[in-house]
Amino acid sequence: MDGFKTRLRAHLRHSLQFRLSFFLAVTSLIAALAAGAVSFSAALSEAHELQDSMLKQIAVLAAMTPGQHAGRVNTDLSNTDADEEARISVQWLPRDGEPPASQSAALTLPIPSGIEDGLHTLSVDGEDYRVAIRSTTDGSRVVVAQEAGMRNEIARGSAMRTIAPMLLLAPLLVLVVFIMVRRLLTPVTQLSQEVNARSEQALHPVQAENVPIELRPFLAAINGLLARVKQSMDMQRRFLADAAHELRSPLAALSLQTERLAQAEMSTTAQDRLITVHDGIERGRHLLEQLLSLARAQADAPRHTTTSVSVGGLVRKVIEDFICQAEVKGIDLGMTDSDDADIETDEMALMTAVKNLVDNAIRYSPQGSQVDVGVHVLAEHVSITVSDHGPGIPAPERARVFEPFYRILGTEEGGSGLGLSIVKEIAARLGAEVSLTCTEPEHDRGLTVALRLPCRPTSAQPHVLLD
């Protein structure tokens, strides 16, 4: 019981829908009970009035009976099989000096002398009786009596039948209240689902067309916050892109100077140090290129950049660009048995994503291993997969590798930690999905990255490119 009270208080404190439904239901029940009590009281009073009217009418009819009092018999007007409490009896009161009327197994009440005509409630031997007394033209009086307990029971039964529909409909009313409140708050639920389904890059205003008027000030505040967040993120992206662009020229000049300096005569120690400096400059240039790619991927791309792209042809161009880098490490880079398809997408963005996937695969693959790139046409998707046989990524860390500058501990290969972040941003912009799986599950090695483009291909033809 305590647990139920605790949950009820929690719902009343935190749930607007439950609070509104609860108080409306309680108010409806109280109103229904009050209306039922008033209806019951009115119906009970009306039933008593009808019963009193019936006693009066019987008394009038009995008083109109022709003849003198002599020979009149106290009678029982009820059926022989009726309950004793439900019987209605007629009793004659004689005039002064006359003998009492004969009885016929009827109820005879001791009527007080001097009692006036009309309706009275008499108590006899602990039982209450409702009696109607009326005088006749010959001076005698007729008494019509019925037990009050049975009258009250009949009246209550009639009143209960009057309010029974109201009592039966009260639970239905509570159910309707809960259903209507839930349905009326559906726009709020839909609004929360729409906002929750957005990506972190979707900062456009929330539409207020189907939103209730009461929620529009709150929605305007949310849209204002989204606009400020978008402005702040745009400033950060512009700063990142501008800074990376401005640093490209100095690093290019430094790289050129180190190449010229390497042609001069110097000691072996100086040459080794110069090579180290040159490698550091190249890593810096690669980092700047990755930062620029990330900034471009995070920027909102115009819709008119989409063109018809041959996915197989694009992948082959990327492989040709990385053949030399793969040969340096003795890596066998090529396409597996693949399909080809023409789809509508952003060619430059897709090429940047595939380049980053192939570059990562070559960087983290051991000497003399293999990197396979495949294109497969599915029902409504075109999937580009890049598989390597490197150390792979542990399952708990696969979600974090998409964060900028995040690198797995213990990795000896240098890198910026931006490759998969760029792929993730481009995939979000293209409406694609990125998934990571293990290439060799039995040895827990290797990584296969699948980029699924949710684009229905305009044409699809089998294509095989041998290494």
Q: Is 303-463 the same fold as 213-293?
A: no
**Residue 393 · residue 326 · CB < 8 Å:** no
Single-letter amino acid, residue 225: L
The distance between the two most distant Cα atoms of the chain, rounded to a whole number of Å, is: 163
pLDDT average, residue stretch 187-215: 77
Cα radius of gyration (the chain): 48
> Across the strands, what pairs with 372?
334, 387
- When pLDDT is cut at 50, 70 and 90, the band that residue 295 belongs to is low
Secondary structure (3-state) at 388: strand
Q: Which two tokens stand for residue 294?
A: 């990330």
CA neighbor of 394 nearest in space, from 447, 356, 450: 447
- Examine the pLDDT at 467 and tell me if it is beyond 50: no
Q: Which of 27-41, 250-264, 393-407, 448-462 has the lowest mean pLDDT?
A: 448-462
Q: At what angle do helices 148-184 and 16-63 cross, to 10 degrees?
A: 150
- When pLDDT is cut at 50, 70 and 90, the band that residue 461 belongs to is very low
The pLDDT, as a whole number, for residue 309 is 84
CA neighbor of 423 nearest in space, from 332, 357, 363, 344: 357
- 310-345 burial code (b ≥16 CB/10 A, e <16): bbbebbbebbeebeeebeeeebebbbeebbbbbbeb
Domain ranges within the chain, ordered by starting residue: 26-168, 213-293, 303-463
**CATH for 303-463?**
3.30.565.10
> Which whole-number Å values give the CA distances from 187 to 17, 94, 191, 213, in the listed order?
12, 82, 6, 11
Q: Around Cβ 236, how many Cβ atoms within 10 Å?
A: 12
Secondary structure (3-state) at 141: strand
**CATH for 213-293?**
1.10.287
- Examine the pLDDT at 456 and tell me if it is beyond 60: no
pTM: 0.48
pLDDT average, residue stretch 427-434: 84
In tens, the pLDDT along 89-124 reads 787 777 655 555 555 445 567 777 778 888 888 887
Q: Around Cβ 429, how many Cβ atoms within 10 Å?
A: 19
**Mean pLDDT (the chain, rounded):** 76
> Across the strands, what pairs with 91?
143
Which residues neighbour 70 within 8 Å (Cβ) at sequence distance 6 or greater?
A: 98
